Amino acid sequence: MRRLTRKYLFWAALCAAPLLAVYVATLIVGRPPAMAQAGAAWIIFGAAGLGIAALLTFVIVISRRLLQPLDDLAATLRAVPDDQLAPATSEREIAALANALETLRAEIEESTRSRAYLDRLIASISDAILVTDTLGTITRANDAAADLLDYQRDELLGRPLQQVIDVDLESKARPGELAARSSDGTFLCRDGTAVPVSYTVAELRDGETIEGWIVAAQNAAERRRVENRIKFLARTDPLTRISNRMQFQHQLQQNIARARRSRQCLALLYLDIDRFKDINDTFGHGSGDRALEIFTQRILAELPEGGIAGRLAGDEFAVLLSGFATQREALDTTTAAAGAILASIGKPFRIEAQEVFITSSMGIALYPRDADNVIDLLRDADAALYRAKRAGGNCFELYSEEMSNDAVDRLMLKSKLKRAFERDELRLHYQMKYHLGTGRIAGAEGLVRWNMPERGLVYPSDFIPLAEESNLILQLGNWVLNRVCEDYRSWQRSLVAPSRVSLNLSLKQLQQQRFLEQLKSILRAHSISPTSLELEITETTLMDDAERTIQMLNALYAMGLHLTIDDFGTGYSSLSALQQFPITTLKIDQSFVRDVAIDKDDASIVTAIIQMGHSLNLEVVAEGVESKAQLEFLRQQGCDYVQGNLFGDPMTADAVLQLLLDEASGGLQHKRLFA
Ligand code: C2E
Ligand code: MG
Ligand code: MG
């Protein structure tokens, strides 16, 4: 009914419009003109009227169009059953309509604004953002996502999310399992390249309804690179690139656990480079590092399959061999591997154009035979290593139970050694030195022994290293010096000029601040001339702190003492290094002399040392001479002096005196040997 009334009103207004237009035009232009001018004037009036009519018609049509949605809205509202509508008067109705319209407009405006806002927000985020619908089809993506995946942004829209998330993660991307979970994963680029990402997937919800998913991802390549680097550094020794102590112990722990579960055996090999300090001291730390690298490469080259190598500290390394079904198998494989590793390590290599040899000692312990946990297994392998070192190095030892008693013994021995001085248990024996050309006595070397009541005579190799671990060596050195002086003094009472007497000095003694004064005061106390005394310093001691040692040796030399390099050939002294020391004698280490008659290499080393010594105006002594063949070889090479068991064991001071007296009265004790 209301609609019908509106229609009549509309058409009435349309018909009335031209009349109204003429009337308005008359009001504007004035009274109708005289009939004489009627023609032109009416044309003007008519046109104005028609123009205004057209304008009004236009206004009405437009307003009708505008009102149409309102009409429709009202019609819809009217279609709603009356009981659902509040009884409304027409004013209320219009107010409600206006309200509905306003709300609608505000919502449209709000949603347009928030969508634009959302777009701007997504675009501004530096993380890659992908929005999907409930089926996982991408509906929005920002530029960061397009960059990350190497697509144009529009190309991403409409694709299934699974296409850019690596297959492994597909299960994660299934709706329902995605709820705001942050993971590390891999996204796939357009060309199939995998990009490491860390990403979060969250549900887009409207109340209870899931409307889709939003995935935010970050390129994690750099972070993962840094993480991997940190992990690598925390677990790896940077120089040798094998496991460090922490990591090795961790691996050992894991392997022990595995061996326990599968009832298998494993072996731990503990390695230490023999006299590594010499390499550092002689060639510098750069070369020391190079030697460690070579050492590592050689271990790795000989490592049986599945073996693990680690660097535990400076020159200490360890190897883990696992997966042995029986103890027998473990022993066989491990000893074979240990032999191969030692042989490979022993091959010469070059440092600064010099040929260098390194050897290593090795201790081996087995799980479960020797120990069932990391700490005990390491301790046992270390005890076996100690034994290998004591055996002279360049060998391996398998752990045995008595070795753990060794450590206890060592402690006991130390405390006993302290008391040995008070109890007067130390002895000094002398080993004679002979002039090779004449066979005459050329000197005597003092060698300390410990006469332990419960053990008998103990040799220096069993207690000097212990004494060197503490300051006991200083006390021992002083004791020897006093003893030598006393003995020499007593020989002097029977002989005008007993031959020179030598004694061995250890590094710690030489490093003492007041060593020179002490020595002088002892010599003075016994009225011994420094020229009667010879000091033997090992090659390695000499090189330890060369600059300081040179000063000390110069002072000793100036006093008139003779200085000898002991155990020559075991260090790495170069000719030029030797020239800086004021030494008078070179003593060739007995390890070269031992096989000089049967081993070509040793023969040429000894020959070279003799020649080199002579070219530096040094006298050369060969120690450890045990056979006539060795003596003959040394004679041919022009060696100056010899020392060794061939001429008898080290003897007491009284026996020395007897020998000296015999010789003084014309007897030549080893006449036949030197003939
Ligand atoms: P060293 O000074 O090189 O002494 C030579 C060692 O070789 C001595 O061992 C000697 O008994 C042994 N020897 C000599 N000739 C032969 C031989 O023909 N065959 C064999 N197999 N061995 C031979 P010793 O007395 O056991 O001394 C070992 C080392 O202990 C000495 O080596 C020396 O470095 C050190 N030492 C001995 N006495 C002292 C001391 O009073 N003070 C210090 N600091 N060290 C000492
Ligand atoms: Mg010596
Ligand atoms: Mg020696």
Q: What is the pLDDT of residue 175?
A: 47
Distance 600 CA to ligand 2 centre (A): 25
Contact 246, 233 (CB under 8 A): no
Q: Which two structure tokens, joined as six digits, stand for 662?
A: 């015999």
Q: What is the pLDDT of residue 35?
A: 44
Pocket of ligand 1 (CB under 6 A): 431, 447-448, 459-461, 464, 480, 503-506, 536, 566-567, 590, 623-626, 644-645, 650
Ligand showing the shortest atom-to-Cα distance for residue 476: 1
Task: Specify the residue with its C-alpha closest to ligand 1, atom 13.
Answer: 624
Q: What is the pLDDT of residue 497?
A: 84
Handedness of CA 191, 194, 198, 203 (dihedral sign): positive
Q: What is the pLDDT of residue 301?
A: 96
Contact 444, 456 (CB under 8 A): no
Q: Which atom of ligand 1 is nearest to the CA of 646?
A: 18
Which pTM does this prediction carry? 0.54
The stretches in the chain having pLDDT less than 50 are 1-5, 32-36, 38, 56, 59, 62-63, 66, 83, 85-89, 167-170, 173-180
Which own/partner contact pairs does 135-141 have at CB distance under 8 Å and 24+ positions apart? 135/160, 135/175, 136/160, 136/161, 136/162, 136/173, 136/174, 136/175, 136/213, 137/161, 139/212
Distance 506 CA to ligand 3 centre (A): 12
Q: What is the pLDDT of residue 622?
A: 97
The closest alpha carbon to 520, from 488, 485, 492, belongs to: 485
* Letter string b/e over residues 441-472, b meaning 16 or more CB atoms within 10 A of that residue's CB: bbbbbbbbbbebeeeeebeeeebbebbbeeeb
**Angle (CA) 669 672 675, round 5°:** 110
Q: What is the pLDDT of residue 353?
A: 81
Test site for ligand 1: of 417, 483, 504, 565, most ligand atoms within 8 A of the Cβ: 504
Q: What is the pLDDT of residue 502?
A: 97
Give CA–CA dist 463/460, Å, rounded.
Answer: 5
